[in-house]
Copies of this chain bind each other. A is one copy, B any other.
């Protein structure tokens, strides 16, 4: 109700602040009998971790996860899974200068007016650091979905600032710090180096995909699968736009083109992005998100202080000049959490997903 729990059956309740003692989450509703160790979770945390290239924040956080409950002898028991990550590399003094003023485009202003108090250290609760527990929970969902249905999740960058990134192959994604699906990222490196020198920041576009999707996930009328995907993605820090399938391009399409025709061999196209009427078709889920430029930048900005007086803000501290660079594993996790929750919701009402459906889905990767 107060917005810190994700999901309805497979729920993730997130807590923590950027510079508090710890962050973490409680996963409730995980099916019993899933083999699970901290290493299963650590892999995705490491992909999201700061300090891994010169293009992201230099904060050094090992982000070691501890499983506090819900697992006995290496297997989930069906009881809540408590996950804890200690904060270790806080430099709270960096934030003294912004405690009394508001960074343009940052949550500072809104938090102050909402709560009357705020923890200014590292953005407090509004920090992208709080995506770490989400990633941890997503790793649990991913594991169950892969074992149960063979569903898998991946994400890549398709635009950096004004640079479009032409898709080459998924195999390149793990081999560069941008999660870019291209072999050569020199242009991206140069772009970021110039940006950092300018004390500025830029946005990014990320593509997120689920393959091996079960058919029939999603609830009418309101909790459609695409509605919940949009909720999840728009809730990721800095996201300003979400598309499913053909997205905004579908406005200019004709119905004779957009509607994915079907043959006994499968769908002929995937303009729907794997969802019609709010329910999964078994085709790949295709999602694209727009991430705005970071608001914490070194360049001076016109602003006001908490008394409404004019001031100039320069954000020191250690920030990502493009938060989109580390967004891929987070977006994957969010998509996995949505699919996981809908898989359990479907099972509640309709029983196990029908696995015997006709050989329809044939979407290209």
Contacts and interface: CB of A to CB of B under 8 A. Distances in A.
Contacts of A69: 15-17, 20-23
B26 A26 contact: yes
18 contacts: A2-B28, A14-B221, A14-B222, A17-B72, A72-B118, A106-B259, A106-B276, A114-B218, A125-B221, A159-B251, A161-B254, A227-B232, A250-B290, A251-B290, A255-B295, A304-B360, A308-B360, A347-B351
Given A22-B69, A251-B291, A255-B299, A224 B235 contact: yes
A33 interface: yes
Task: Give the interface centre of A9, A70, A105, A223 by most chain B CB atoms within 10 Å.
Answer: A105
A3 B253 CA distance: 29
Interface in A245-278: 245-264, 268, 271-273, 275-278
B28 A302 contact: no
Identical chains in the assembly: 4
A57 interface: no
Contacts of A310: 263-264
A111 B225 CA distance: 13
A241 interface: yes
For the complex of A and B, list the 8 residue pairs with the smallest distance between their C-beta atoms, beginning with the closest.
A107-B277, A3-B219, A105-B259, A201-B255, A227-B235, A3-B223, A110-B279, A230-B234
A243 interface: yes
Given A107-B278, A230-B233, A263 B304 contact: yes
Contacts of A346: 114
Contact of A278 (B33, B235, B264): B235
A173 interface: no
Nearest to A311: B262
A75 B295 contact: no
A12 to B, nearest CB: 8
A226 interface: yes
Contacts of A281: 109-110, 113
